[in-house]
Amino acid sequence: MEKSNPKIDDQLKRIELLQEETKNTPKSDRITTVNWNKNTGIILRLLERAEQTLTDKLPKARFDWERSGYTSPEKMIDQAEGYLKILKEGKDPLDGKFAEPGGTVIDHCIIKKDGLFHLFYIRGKAATHWPEWPTRNFGHATSKDLINWEILEPVIQSPEKGWDEYQVWAPHIVEHNGEYYMLYTGVSYPCCQCIGLAKSKDLFNWERIGDGPVITPGDWGIWQKDGSADCRDPSMLKVGDTYYCYYTAVRKVEGANPPHEYCVGISSSKNLIDWKDEGYARLETSLKTPPESPFAVEKDGKFYLFYTSYGHGTVVAVSDHPAKGWKDLPEDELVTMAGISASEVLKDGDDWYISLISHAKNALHFFEIRKLIWHDDGKITAEVID
């Protein structure tokens, strides 16, 4: 018979009491139902993770790094209790942060149709990394003001077999000839990433185009169909009659140690179905770590590439051409927002916005949005929406 551990028993009892308290706390009229459910779902998920850790019942790990980045169960319980205390005071401890109940938002896109903003996003599970709980479809939510969101049914379910059988990541959508085209990252079980295409007439019902990916890296890239390979986070920019796609990739560097460096791959298309390799952008800030979630916009005759740089946050490169000549902005202008990731830029009339994924302890990730400010001195900053 196994001996009882008093410390673990005390923590499990504390979890049980907090779970009951969370479920039985009456909803405050000062918090919307969506935000109430968001918070209680996050609290319960933190408690579940702590319990799984204490009882050695965590999902089987596929990769060594899956267990990194978490606090002790005791601190995880403290975090959940702290959120609950604020919630019981009639306040939102995660104010301005959007996620599904018990979930997280990671790479995403926003598109406006008939006065309504549509948000599509990777549906993560709170306090969980993606190998433990595969992200097999995209979340979908709508808003009139970019702040209050209505959660809808998910879209683009991973098939049982095929190039995107394991997971789907990082959607991006544009409107073209009255229809909506989505590029997204499909991931096979060996973790080969490549970019596929889906189409919709209404943003609710989607169909995949073709039976395989439409974009993979050119000969310059390190990519393998049957193994782990980088080709993810697509976004599109239309320049004239041409669409350019930017994505995270890695390229060969002969004679170097290691013989590779990270980059942004670039492809072009006239019809969004047939894509031509345009090479890559080499960005000094992110040669040893991936430049993730690249997103290009055009303003005043110049092109700006926003991307996630490890250790910095959202940074910006600039060019006079959409497919070549990309250079990081000077150091004093480089960082638009520190400590966040997966930014996308949205222009709505004369207003500019920039989204972000903010991070809290224990693998919690939330969607937020800011005003994007272009300053005359060349700096680009973000401000909270009033």
Query: What spatial distance separates the first Cα and last Cα of the chain, rounded to whole Å?
Result: 60
**Which whole number is the average pLDDT over 324-351?**
96
Write the CA distances from 134 to 91, 122, 138, 141, 368, integer angstroms: 32, 10, 11, 20, 23
- What DSSP designation does 292 have? E
pLDDT digits (tens, 9 = 90+) for 367-385: 999 999 999 998 999 999 9
- DSSP string for 242-310: EEEEEEEEEEE-TT-SSSEEEEEEEEEESSSSS-EEEEEE--GGGSSS--EEEEEEEETTEEEEEEEET
Q: Which amino acid type is present at position 346? A: L
**Side chain identity, residue 175:** E
Residues 305 and 247: their CA atoms lie apart, in Å, by: 11
Q: Is the pLDDT of residue 67 over 80?
A: yes
Q: Which residues of 180-213 are buried (b: 16+ CB within 10 A; e: fewer)?
A: bbbbbbbbbeeebbbbbbbbbeebeebebeeeeb
pLDDT at residue number 272: 98
Mean pLDDT of all residues belonging to the chain: 96
Sorted by where each begins, the domain ranges of the chain are 6-88, 103-384
pLDDT at 257: 87
**Distance between CA 183 and CA 64 in Å, rounded?**
30
| pLDDT digits 0-9 by tens, 192-239 | 999 999 999 999 999 999 999 999 999 999 999 999 999 999 999 999
3-state SS, residue 208? strand
Q: Is the per-residue pLDDT at 120 higher than 90? A: yes
Report phi then psi at 204, rounded to 5: -105, -35
Average pLDDT (135-156) is 97
pLDDT tier for residue 49 given thresholds of 50, 70 and 90: very high
Torsion angle, CA of 240/245/246/252, rounded to 10 degrees? -120
pTM of the prediction?
A: 0.97
Task: Please answer whether residues 127 and 363 qualify as being in contact, where contact means their C-beta atoms are separated by less than 8 angstroms.
Answer: yes
Query: Would you call the peptide bond into 258 cis, given omega within 30 degrees of 0 as the criterion?
Result: yes
Give the separation between CA 309 and CA 167, rounded to whole angstroms. 23
**CB distance 166 to 228 below 8 Å:** no
pLDDT at site 4: 80
CB 152 within 8 A of CB 142: yes
- The residue-averaged pLDDT of 105-115 equals 97
Task: Give residue 162's Cα distance to chain centre.
Answer: 23
Q: Does the pLDDT at position 360 exceed 90? A: yes
Sign of CA dihedral 307, 311, 313, 319: negative
**C-alpha angle with apex 198: 195 to 204, nearest 5 degrees?**
135
In contact, 245 and 252? CB cutoff 8 Å: no
Beta bridge partners of 71: none
Say whether pLDDT at 386 is over 90. no
Q: Give residue-wise pLDDT tens across range 303-322.
A: 999 999 998 999 999 999 99
Task: Please name the residue that has the structure tokens 């994505």.
Answer: 247
Half-sphere exposure for 374 (CA within 13 Å, toward CB): 13
Domain 103-384 has CATH 1.10.3720.10: no
Report pLDDT for 255: 87
Q: Amino acid identity, residue 98? A: F
Query: 2 pLDDT band (50/70/90 cuts)?
Result: low
pLDDT in the model for residue 253: 94
Quickly list DSSP for 307-323. Answer: EEETTTEEEEEEESBTT
* pLDDT > 60? residue 1: no
Instruction: Compute CA 256 distance to the chain's CA centroid, rounded to the nearest angstrom.
Output: 31
Mean local confidence (pLDDT), 257-275: 96
How far apart are alpha carbons 64 and 47 in whole angstroms? 23
